[in-house]
Amino acid sequence: MEDLTQQRLARKIDLIRTLSLTKPHPSPKASLEQYTLPPDIAATIGYVAAYTFGDIIGKTVLDLGCGTGRLALAASFLGARQTVGIDIDKIAIRIASENFAETGLKNPVDWVLGDINAIKGSFDTILQNPPFGVQKRAADRKFLEKALEVAHTTYSLHNHPYNDPDLANRLKSVKGRFIQVSPTPFIQKLVEANNGVIKAVYAILMSIPHMFDFHRKRKLEFVADLYLIKKSDG
Helix, strand, coil % over all residues of the chain, rounded to 5: 35, 25, 40
From the CB of 202, what's the least distance to ligand SAM, in Å? 16
Question: Between residues 57 and 71, which has the closer beta carbon with respect to ligand SAM?
Answer: 71
Nearest to 143 by CA among 202, 88, 207, 185: 88
Nearest to 154 by CA among 214, 196, 120, 112: 196
Stretch that binds ligand SAM, among 34-42, 167-175, 180-188, 207-215 (CB under 6 A): 34-42
Q: Kindly tell me which residue out of 22, 43, 59, 67 binds ligand SAM, with binding defined by CB under 6 A.
A: 67
Secondary structure element (H or E) that encloses residue 17, with its range:
helix 12-20
Contact 50, 42 (CB under 8 A): no
Contact 65, 129 (CB under 8 A): yes
Question: Between residues 10 and 95, which has the closer beta carbon with respect to ligand SAM?
Answer: 95
Stretch that binds ligand SAM, among 9-17, 30-38, 190-198, 226-234 (CB under 6 A): 30-38
What residues between 68 and 107 interact with ligand SAM by CB under 6 A? 70-71, 86-89, 92
Question: Between residues 116 and 201, which has the closer beta carbon with respect to ligand SAM?
Answer: 116
Residues binding ligand SAM (CB under 6 A): 32-37, 65-67, 70-71, 86-89, 92, 115-116, 129-131
